[in-house]
Structure 1
């Protein structure tokens, strides 16, 4: 891999992937809504940080112009940006909340895929697009219904773009399980999640990096979803 683009790069999984690819010697274009001290600390001539307002078409267009102006090709795009929130707190602003989920989980990946297609397309060594989705796309959590529905739509976009871009771009998704709990998770919530997981325990972010490497290295994989969830998607009965 030469040049990698990662969305949601300022924290958690996105930050981890950014650091990992930099350590591999890749150039990384890090797209983020907000700067972070952790991302800024990775500053080097191989890291290109782009602040982007996901809600603004003008901001999206400016980011694409910047990327096209500086890069001739991309090897990999990882759509990691996400908004993970329950429905209940947004009962009184449901439409606005749903619009934001759509813009982050559906419109942003679709826009970037279309705009970056010329930089990724290569029939000799196809570029790769990886959508980070969620195991809830198949089996939704009732407390996160709106979130789950837009992640399910991103899974559908995976298949649509795989058909559209073959054979010059391979498009796949990764559906994570309990990688690393948020600070907001309560102990009883953690216990419930781990109790439903065949391989209990927080895996950290390394398994996702391994999954991306598998997708990149295996030239005969496209339109597929790789579940990296410790078996939680089938759970314990």
Structure 2
């Protein structure tokens, strides 16, 4: 049975990917800061949930020790923090540290800790979930954009470091699914800035990961999944 490890699997995209791979018959291990009720509802023999502190290296190393003796076929770095800089004027550098820890330090540490487990697979893949803002930073999300750019750079470094047996790619999503607090005006603004003006949901990302897994000649590549938003932003 194939084995996927997904960080940030308690909600939204991470939860969707967890259910996606469970439905494909994979064994899935989710690393999460806390288990959501939605994730708990997926409970089955194929699912293992590990609650960890993303910013505590000792806790993370100990929590993933069992993983290091297994075989991992897919590692998805999905855990993320997303907020505007202006919301953190009182603790801006603390917020920047948190972004670095979740978007860069955590993926780098897991890549290192899981290297042997990934090496046991005959088709091992690591996917870094970055953002279109890694290429075109948004001024209101400057620190977030910078940390995602760092995650993008880490992807290329690990692709070179782990080739040819472990392939490493990134996915740069744009807005995929609206939040409950998005107003109709917010939604319209997002849709008007996309070449394909629809709320796509999370399926396109799952389909892109499936493509990466099935294509043995793809590594060190960034895959943009944004309905053409990044193109329209640059026009």
TM-score past 0.5 threshold: yes
What does residue 64 of structure 2 align with?
64
What does residue 48 of structure 2 align with?
48
Q: Deviations over 1:133-170 (max 9, x none)?
A: 00010001110000000000100001000000001100
Paired residues for 1:1-237 under 5 Å: 2-69=2-69, 71=70, 73-121=71-119, 125-235=122-232, 237=235
Structure 1 unaligned blocks of 5 or more: none
Deviation, 1:12, is 0.3
Structure 2 unaligned blocks of 5 or more: none
Q: Deviations over 1:79-124 (max 9, x none)?
A: 10000100001011011100000000000000000110111125x8
TM-score (norm 2): 0.96
> What SS class does the counterpart of residue 175 from structure 1 fall into?
strand
TM-score (norm 1): 0.95
Q: Quick one: distance in 2 between partners of 1:65 and 1:156? A: 27
> What SS class does the counterpart of residue 21 from structure 1 fall into?
helix
Number of residue-to-residue matches in the alignment: 234
> What SS class does the counterpart of residue 154 from structure 1 fall into?
helix
Across the aligned residues of Structure 1 and Structure 2, the Cα RMSD in angstroms comes to 1.3
Q: 2:156 touches 2:221 (CA, 8 Å); kept in 1?
A: yes
Q: Quick one: distance in 2 between partners of 1:125 and 1:66? A: 20
> What SS class does the counterpart of residue 65 from structure 1 fall into?
coil
Deviation, 1:64, is 2.0
Q: 1:126 touches 1:167 (CA, 8 Å); kept in 2?
A: no
Q: Quick one: distance in 2 between partners of 1:185 and 1:107? A: 31
